[in-house]
Amino acid sequence: MVDYIGFMRNHLKAAQQSHYAIIFETVMNSLSTLPKVSIITPSFNQGQFLEASIRSVLEQDYPNIKYIIVDGGSTDKSVEIIKKYQDHLAWWVCEKDKGHADALNKGFSHATGEILAWLNSDDIYFPNAVSEAISVLTSQPEVGMVYGDADLIDDSGKPAGKFASKQTSYHQMLRGSIHIPQATTFFRADLWRQVGPLDLSLFFSFDYDLWVRLAKVSQVLYVPKTWAKFRIHDAGKTIINDDRCYPDMLRVLEREGGNWFSWLRLRMITRKLTYSWLPWKFRLRLRKLLTF
């Protein structure tokens, strides 16, 4: 007598396996059509903030991300934190480097895919940041870089204001009208290969330099959506090295053929005379009044 029960069980098991195989193949095919995004996090002794940054990348609602962390030889708990998440990383390293820009160049040398970004180890993505940015880049092939809005937070994560984001361009950047929160930027890998790497001689404004070079050969687009939390704190580079920003930017202007008498130099002088010497919390309140 035929074992109909056994036959049906085997048939059902085979059908289930086939069903799961179809689902798996469908998911993999879907993933293969999504642009791959490589995200780099450079870090040095930022253990206080690093885990929040890492988690904000790993918890994105976009599935096709290659995540890379480049640590500059931290002596705090950073390496311990990185090892906690190393199974989710495409690559990571902890070794002495030549600074922030060098760490990023090292990370981008291991990047693959169509889109690149970096998230500093004290900043945080919102969960939909990557998917929204990729949606814009996918639908507008003429755009080389997108950026959005960012909330400012202090060292404890409390709100400290809003970054004054707005649309800018190559010529506006050379006048000092930047308005780009770095943590929200996403740009095409083929353009990076065209204009990169980052200039190690620019201690503070290597990101500004990259944006100028990208805007010179493609369109940069502001998207009015909040993609990141930008941390302002007393130990942050934005605060302790603020006086090195404009000299770096003036070097970029000179390279691009700008005049010594320029809007950018006027901005630097105005900043020094009016508020660069004030505590950073007061500067945030004045920033909206002094941006033009």
Cβ count near 31 (within 10 Å) = 11
Kindly report the average pLDDT of the chain as a whole number: 86
Matching residue, tokens 């950026």: 147
Q: What is the mean pLDDT of residues 89-98?
A: 97
Range scoring the smallest mean pLDDT among 20-24, 54-58, 117-121: 20-24
pLDDT bin (cut points 50, 70, 90) of residue 258 is confident
Report if pTM > 0.75: yes
Helix, strand, coil percentages for the chain (3-state, nearest 5):
50, 20, 35
Q: What is the mean pLDDT of residues 191-204?
A: 95
- Look at 279 and 181; give whichever has higher pLDDT: 181
Cα-based distances in Å from 255 to 206, 246, 259, 263: 13, 14, 10, 16
Amino acid 158 reads: K
Residue 209's nearest CA partner among 184, 192, 232, 222 is 192
Range scoring the smallest mean pLDDT among 5-19, 23-37, 69-83, 113-127: 5-19
Q: What is the pLDDT of residue 266?
A: 84
Q: What is the mean pLDDT of residues 148-153?
A: 97
pLDDT bin (cut points 50, 70, 90) of residue 286 is low
Cα-based distances in Å from 59 to 48, 68, 84: 19, 15, 15
